[in-house]
Structure 1
């Protein structure tokens, strides 16, 4: 189904199956306020009087009009009293979930004057982008594989309208529609990452991920290299080959090039961990929950989703995106604890835990990006279970060697609403990676595992500005929340896109 999101004047918007009205607790206290229709307004006040609807965030009240209005349903969505971009995105998600319940196809979303007036700390474009992202991302459903194909619910047409018929600021419609367009692009990038991450391990192998990247490169005219196991051996990618050698599905190093500023010496290096399935290898994981290890390529999906957005926006930046992809499997060929492998940059690593495999492929990934001209590096990976102990599922953990680049990432995450929390990188933590047998070992032990895992990756940054993002707690959820569904979330797609587009 094709969907249409647009801004329209109240006079030209026409009828809709459902009307969504954003409303705050302050609005509900105004006994003279008029929102949609007198009897419907009275019904909402009755809900408020009983404490059923307070206008708070994530609250929605669906009222059937029963012929009192041209729309079949009015949906009142709470926005709270302090409305920022995160609140607008959340309001969009709350509205989407209510619309899914009544399967509305045509929708009019009425935006209060106070939401679009100045002084809120955001522009009209940012407001419409946030609302659009919330709506589009919360509508998304993971499609199960069923004998009888299931169709996703979609809104066929949604019109944003200024509530109350007030006067629009000059040029507001153009700004609003520009934000809608950007929000739709960002949402589509996230949805692509979610679909890719949700693929079963037998549906997505390293070769399959490489084929996906090749198709995307053709679609957006990116240059692409797909390095197979033989070329990887020639280039000395011991980390990638060591992790992948236990599987019948050979590893790949995928490199995508985007040159939007050929005369600029600066090049972003985006590196995404692409372990298409992780058993832990010889250091085998527990059986319970192992099926979720289809998500161990969530970092790769984030980079791919962000590149889809880049391909549409075409910003004036240079990017080299690197996806080291492999399956980590136990077999008679698998690497094992005690092995010593030589990485692409020449460092020798003692393997003490084969389930600490992501940092090995990322090490070769960073070297690959640097040798292809990257001047600043951001890697994204479902790296450690320890990040769940530290931050739960509420934030992505970050480790860096450069505060300036870290600040850029933080600003991008604030725009996207994807929380990032910086962890310390004290020199003392690096001592936990000291090996008696090699230059370093691939695990620093139980304590500060997210930090030491990140610092292992950072050992391959060659003093370039670098930020590591550990999404092990945020990439795959066991329950839905706000605009993120159960299963793959596509986290960091929008943060990376905001980072490199610089808007």
Structure 2
């Protein structure tokens, strides 16, 4: 069953629920509303706080058992010492939803005393993140060992127009992130380039968007030799999918979102080491982020035009595969010397950036799990943000901060460009290990013409190989939030 959300202004003490999660700050004290709830618990909440058994630290939780009716369980969840924010509410709600899943309650009420509209949005997004899973390919455990998945989440908040708007926005972002996560978690033999075409058609149909789907022949007709050289080692049909959301007049230049969609990346002839290669199913996370963002935008209906473009294929070694030393021609006429076939994502993105020009963008943002170098530089906690346009970069950084997907600005100085000069072509596809994420961004810049451009390297943030506590290992939903916040901010200006 899909996860459903509702918003209610019911007094917490009068609820009928198997689980009420209460989000509290560090060193919490009893308020009138908490005192009313404590009456159902026969003073257990007051004693818990007095004994400091629960101190409200970030990610801290404590379960109190109530009666057989009404509020059957109370889960205290700490949000720490940070000021109240959407991001803090999101994290606490995710912790609560994960605990609800372990308990098998099936339903969850979430309450953040003193919360505002922004926290309502955060609670929805967090509850969805903590409840998310991909059990599709697993055999269910025996009946006696099963625990009900969280299928219903109710947010407790005062009835106001601001709360209702925030709730709707939270649901939109949550649904978009669910699409991105599902695409990411699907194995490479289930998530194929055609899957992106199918998801794109579904989004377009439900939200009244225009859609363009190109295959190998159509891309060849457009001269997309950079994209197609990556696809030449696989019999699977590559796909370029473009979704067009029209929320403003035809004369408004759109925001263009671009995503790398390598459904699996072996490295090609420059094959990757075998250990942990299975994680390369996540090399489509940029494209998943674009699809998720377009779903959220379709639900939010902002007054702005947005185009989402993804390029999807698999990078496989074969007798037909592109090889080091080959020279290919991109659709803008530039020639590229292939130094390493594992630097394939930038080749796909090169032709997507040229394709984007037909939409006359006001700005183009791309997201890609592009380089291992960005993981070495920034780890798992920050998106690498690259642009020669400082104003545009600052705009994206602000969007990422608001979404809880923080970024860090990286240099794009001309001195680094020397590393991607070729002896036989206009440019080569990698400049070596030194400053690898920077030279990759500068390679992309070679295919941008006439519009501001920001590149997001999400290789360290789109998925996690370890449990993060508030969400499990696997897909994180990045960069859906950044894309959506950027578009929302642009629509407000």
- Same fold per superposition (TM over 0.5): yes
* 1:3 Cα deviation after fit: 2.4
Q: For 1:259 and 1:111, how far apart are their aligned partners in 2?
A: 36
1:165-189 Cα shifts (integer Å, max 9, x gaps): xxx6xxx533212211110111011
1:59 aligns with 2:60: yes
What does residue range 216-365 of structure 1 map to in structure 2 within 5 Å? 216-365=203-352
* 1:400 Cα deviation after fit: 0.6
Q: For 2:80 and 2:139, how far apart are their aligned partners in 1?
A: 43
Q: For 1:44 and 1:13, how far apart are their aligned partners in 2?
A: 16
Please point out which of 163, 166, 182 is paired with 1:179: 166
Return closer, same or farther for 1:401/1:339 CA change in 2, 3 Å cut-off: same
What does residue range 84-233 of structure 1 map to in structure 2 within 5 Å? 84-113=85-114, 115-116=115-116, 124=117, 126-148=118-140, 153-161=149-157, 172-233=159-220
What does residue range 38-57 of structure 1 map to in structure 2 within 5 Å? 40=41, 43-44=44-45, 52-57=53-58
Check conservation: 1:28, 1:54, Cα contact below 8 A: no
Q: For 1:201 and 1:311, how far apart are their aligned partners in 2?
A: 27
* 1:52 Cα deviation after fit: 4.6
1:441 aligns with 2:442: no
Q: For 2:388 and 2:316, how far apart are their aligned partners in 1?
A: 32
1:400-438 Cα shifts (integer Å, max 9, x gaps): 121121122122112211111111111111111111111
Please point out which of 462, 472, 477 is paired with 1:490: 477
1:135-165 Cα shifts (integer Å, max 9, x gaps): 111111122513449997124252405xxxx
* 1:9 Cα deviation after fit: 3.4
**Structure 2 gaps, min length 5:** none
Return closer, same or farther for 1:61/1:11 CA change in 2, 3 Å cut-off: closer
What does residue range 356-395 of structure 1 map to in structure 2 within 5 Å? 356-395=343-382
1:26-65 Cα shifts (integer Å, max 9, x gaps): 32499xx836325958545665677653211111111112
* 1:501 Cα deviation after fit: 2.6
TM-score (normalizing by structure 2)? 0.91
- SS of alignment partner, residue 132 of structure 1: helix
1:74 aligns with 2:74: yes
Q: For 2:153 and 2:367, how far apart are their aligned partners in 1?
A: 35
* 1:12 Cα deviation after fit: 9.9
Q: For 2:22 and 2:12, how far apart are their aligned partners in 1?
A: 17
State the aligned residue count. 484
Provide the alpha-carbon RMSD of the alignment. 2.5
Q: For 2:12 and 2:214, how far apart are their aligned partners in 1?
A: 57
TM-score (normalizing by structure 1)? 0.90
- SS of alignment partner, residue 333 of structure 2: coil
Return closer, same or farther for 1:59/1:239 CA change in 2, 3 Å cut-off: same
